[in-house]
């Protein structure tokens, strides 16, 4: 039996009996007058209903403004050095610098000392960790690099850096990063992932590239849940010169995809790109819903080309759980790593490729329609380990 199931059963019992006891205790305290039981699941809703406009009583401060319990130190015009919260100690400042360029300090030190010292490997491990590679994967990469340095009797810094890059590339060694458009039309690509990672934007970018290549594209707005999701996709369709099929907000997402595929077939459209609502991988009902959407491709007689898991480069170790659940549910064929134009490094990609054998195929590098490029492991590793 799964531990989560056990926990759930315990929670069920505790909630009910505890709830009864809770209400009981409260009414006893209030002089034995029974009162309607308090809904446990939504203590928030017991807040008073909206009242007509009224004067608020609050502590007055200068300028008619009031700040939080801890008033912020004069905000705007401080110099960069002083702008950090006063509590932030020097090491955090250093950490900040290091976080932005994880490898720079370690590598610069290496080249300055001109020898490979044992302490250097700890710095490399730290750099990998700061890139969200994860402790285990970082250890694996460092061990592999160290081993190579030992085996090849490497002493000069440039070769040591080469060994590190080689070890990183070994974790990204999946051969096939191609995107499939083969088979009978329409070929369907599905985009899945947690909330806000960039699914809809990526679809806009992909649609644009495909239209540029002379393919006809239909977008399926199978995110019927999030407010204005279909409007957002519609705007991308316009920009990309693609068609779009929308459903009613709150409607059945699988039905929207079905309609899109059917209409694409009728029109002879080459590709259908299916947008789906963001969903956290621990919501079993939503993962079930996604499976249903996935099965629709076959039902509507579309050719399943790709199921792309969109991952945000800022994601930490939870990225692994995302890759696991989504790939088990809908057979993910590739990863799109978005927002690599930011300060985050997307290092979870290493563990995802090595553990789940799912290749990163595309990379998002901005919000404009052209900001999507194929994933190139070598370029990625080089930019992670850039010296400056």
Partner 1 sequence: MFDNLSARLEGVVTKLKRKGRLSAADIEAALREIRAALLEADVNLTVVRQFTDNIREAAIGATVSRALTPAQQIIKLVDEELRSTLGGDSFRLTFASTPPTVIMLVGLQGSGKTTAAGKLALWLRRQGRHPMLVGADLARPAAVEQLRILAETAQVDFFSEATDPVSVAREGIARARSLGRDVVIIDTAGRLAVDAELMDEMRRIEGVAKPNYTFLVIDAMIGQDALATAGAFSEAVGLSGTILTKLDGDARGGAALSVVAVTGKKIAFSSIGEKLEDFDTFHPDRMANRILGMGDVLSLIEKAERQMDKQVAEKGAQKLAQGKFDLEDFLEQMQQVKRMGPLKGIMSMLPGVPRELRDVDIDEREVARTEAIISSMTREERRNPAIIDASRRQRIAAGSGSTSMAVSNLLKQFKEMQKMMRQMGVGPASATKRPASSRAAKKKGKRR
Ligand X SMILES: Nc1nc2c(ncn2[C@@H]2O[C@H](COP(=O)(O)OP(=O)(O)OP(=O)(O)O)[C@@H](O)[C@H]2O)c(=O)[nH]1
Q: Report the Cα–Cα distance between both ends of the chain, in Å, rounded.
A: 52
Tokens standing for residue 260: 């899109």
Q: Decide if residue 383 touches partner 1 (CB under 8 A).
A: no
Q: Decide if residue 339 touches ligand X (CB under 6 A).
A: yes
Binder among 163, 192, 229, 242 for ligand X (CB under 6 A): 229
In the complex with ligand X, which residue's Cβ is closer, 119 or 282? Answer: 282
For residue 327, report the phi and psi dihedrals to the nearest 5 degrees: -75, -35
Q: Which stretch binds partner 1 (CB under 8 A): 105-113, 172-180, 255-263, 300-308?
A: 255-263
Q: Give Cα separations from 159 to 104, 151, 163, 325 (angstroms).
A: 16, 12, 6, 39
Pairing of strands 372-374, 360-364: antiparallel
Describe the crossing of helices 104-113 and 118-130 by its angle, rounded to 10 degrees: 160
Q: Decide if residue 226 touches ligand X (CB under 6 A).
A: yes
Q: Which stretch binds ligand X (CB under 6 A): 166-174, 197-205, 255-263, 327-335?
A: 197-205
Residue nearest to ligand X as judged by C-beta position: 278
223, 236 contact by CB (below 8 A): no
Size of the site for ligand X (CB under 6 A): 22
Q: CB within 8 A of 271, min separation 6: which ones?
A: 181, 185, 186, 187, 188, 189, 210, 215, 216, 217, 218, 264, 305
Distance of CA 133 to the CA centre of its chain: 14
Query: CA–CA separation, 378 vs 126, rounded Å?
Result: 21
Smallest gap from residue 348 Cβ to partner 1 (A): 7
Among positions 25-44, residues that touch ligand X (CB under 6 A) are: none
326, 209 contact by CB (below 8 A): no
Among positions 238-297, residues that touch ligand X (CB under 6 A) are: 278
In the complex with partner 1, which residue's Cβ is closer, 35 or 184? Answer: 35
Among positions 172-211, residues that touch Mg ion (CB under 5 A) are: 199-200
120, 106 contact by CB (below 8 A): yes
Among positions 308-347, residues that touch partner 1 (CB under 8 A) are: 312-319, 321, 339, 341-345, 347
In the complex with partner 1, which residue's Cβ is closer, 50 or 175? Answer: 50
In the block, residue with structure tokens 């069920």: 12
Size of the site for partner 1 (CB under 8 A): 134
Among positions 26-45, residues that touch partner 1 (CB under 8 A) are: 34, 36-37, 39-45
Among positions 272-311, residues that touch partner 1 (CB under 8 A) are: 280-286, 288-289, 292
321, 346 contact by CB (below 8 A): no
What is the number of other CB atoms lying within 10 angstroms of the CB of residue 308?
Answer: 27
Q: Decide if residue 322 touches ligand X (CB under 6 A).
A: no
Among positions 42-81, residues that touch partner 1 (CB under 8 A) are: 42-45, 47-51, 53-54, 56, 58-61, 64-70, 72-73, 75-76, 80
Q: Decide if residue 226 touches partner 1 (CB under 8 A).
A: yes
Binder among 255, 365, 369, 373 for ligand X (CB under 6 A): 365
In the block, residue with structure tokens 């609050």: 58
Among positions 166-195, residues that touch ligand X (CB under 6 A) are: 193, 195
Among positions 297-316, residues that touch ligand X (CB under 6 A) are: 310
């Amino acid at each position: 039996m799964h531990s989560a199931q056990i926990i759930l059963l315990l929670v069920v019992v505790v909630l009910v009996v505890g709830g009864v006891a809770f209400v009981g205790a409260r009414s006893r305290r209030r002089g034995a007058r029974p009162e309607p039981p308090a809904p446990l699941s939504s203590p928030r809703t017991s807040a008073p209903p909206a009242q007509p406009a009224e004067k608020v009583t609050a502590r007055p401060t200068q300028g008619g403004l009031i700040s939080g319990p801890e008033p912020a130190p004069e905000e705007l015009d401080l110099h960069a050095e002083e702008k950090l919260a006063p509590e932030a100690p020097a090491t955090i400042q250093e950490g900040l610098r290091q976080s932005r360029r994880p490898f720079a300090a370690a590598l610069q030190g290496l080249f300055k000392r001109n020898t490979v010292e044992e302490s250097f490997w700890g710095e490399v491990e730290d750099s990998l960790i700061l890139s969200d590679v994860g402790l285990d994967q970082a250890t694996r990469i460092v061990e592999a690099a160290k081993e190579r340095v030992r085996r090849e009797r490497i002493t000069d810094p440039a070769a040591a850096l080469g060994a590190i890059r080689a070890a990183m590339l070994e974790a990204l060694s999946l051969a096939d990063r191609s995107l499939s458009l083969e088979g009978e039309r329409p070929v369907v690509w599905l985009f899945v992932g947690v909330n806000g990672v960039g699914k809809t934007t990526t679809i806009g970018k992909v649609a644009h590239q495909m239209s540029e290549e002379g393919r006809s594209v239909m977008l399926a707005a199978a995110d019927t849940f999030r407010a204005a999701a279909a409007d957002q996709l519609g705007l991308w369709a316009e920009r990309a010169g693609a068609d779009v099929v929308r459903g009613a907000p709150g409607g059945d997402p699988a039905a929207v995809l079905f309609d899109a595929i059917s209409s694409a077939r009728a029109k002879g459209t080459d590709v259908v790109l299916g947008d789906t609502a963001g969903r956290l991988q621990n919501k079993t009902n939503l993962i079930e819903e996604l499976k249903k959407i996935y099965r629709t491709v076959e039902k509507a007689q579309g050719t399943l080309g790709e199921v792309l898991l969109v991952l945000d480069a800022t994601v930490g170790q939870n990225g692994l759980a995302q890759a696991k659940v989504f790939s088990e549910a809908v057979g993910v064929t590739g990863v799109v790593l978005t927002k690599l134009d930011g300060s985050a490094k997307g290092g979870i990609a290493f563990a995802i490729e090595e553990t789940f054998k799912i290749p990163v195929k595309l990379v998002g590098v901005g919000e404009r329609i052209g900001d999507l490029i194929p994933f190139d492991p070598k370029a990625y590793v080089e930019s992670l380990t850039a010296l400056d």
